[in-house]
Amino acid sequence: MKESVRGGGSATGSQHHGAPVPHRDQHGLDPVAVIGIHARFPGSVCETLDEYWQNLVDCRDCVGVPPDDRFAAAAASQAGSSGVREGGFIGNVDAFDAAFFGIQEEEARLMDPLQRLALESAWHCVEDAGYRATDLSREETGVFFATGKSDYEELLYRDGTAVHAKLATGVATSI
């Protein structure tokens, strides 16, 4: 399907999110593509984008009390509760497969959960795009994502975790 594009050019396909598609002569040798998407959202029935959109359509509130096992370790080490009454909790955050990513168990244990989730999400984006790792190993391909800062490093220090090299890579948001 051919479409008219701002500036008199034409493009094949659709204009993603209303953004104009540049004429081939403008950026002909600068290929960039967003080809896969993945996200995880809070809520017991919200592991896919389709489920997320359905939750929005249904006006479903995905904020709730913490799962019983989420703060078990904190509650055991401190008197009283975790102090968290409600929140948006993502399921299966403890199901990271370190061996799949070639990460040693010790290093994975010290990794910020945001890093583990980001790695899984990046992998799902590649799968969503229809690629295999062997396809990408032969190409000049970059996978870019971002996370926010968390308090995981502080939690490890409070818990008495000894400082060593594997801790540094597990809590640095730039790695």
Q: Could you read off the pLDDT of 139-167 as tens digits, one per residue?
A: 777 777 777 778 888 888 888 887 777 77
pTM attached to this predicted model: 0.65
Q: Is the pLDDT of residue 101 over 70?
A: yes
Residue 10 bridge partners (DSSP): 4
Q: What pLDDT sits at residue 81?
A: 56
Q: Is the pLDDT of residue 82 over 70?
A: no
Which residues have C-beta within 8 Å of that of residue 148, sequence separation ≥ 6? Answer: 114, 173
Q: Which helix (H) or strand (E) holds 155?
A: helix 152-158
Question: What SS3 state is found at 115?
Answer: helix
C-alpha distances (whole Å) from 146 to each of 57, 72, 122, 143, 154 are 27, 29, 10, 10, 20
> With contact defined as beta carbons under 8 Å apart, do 5 and 18 qualify?
no
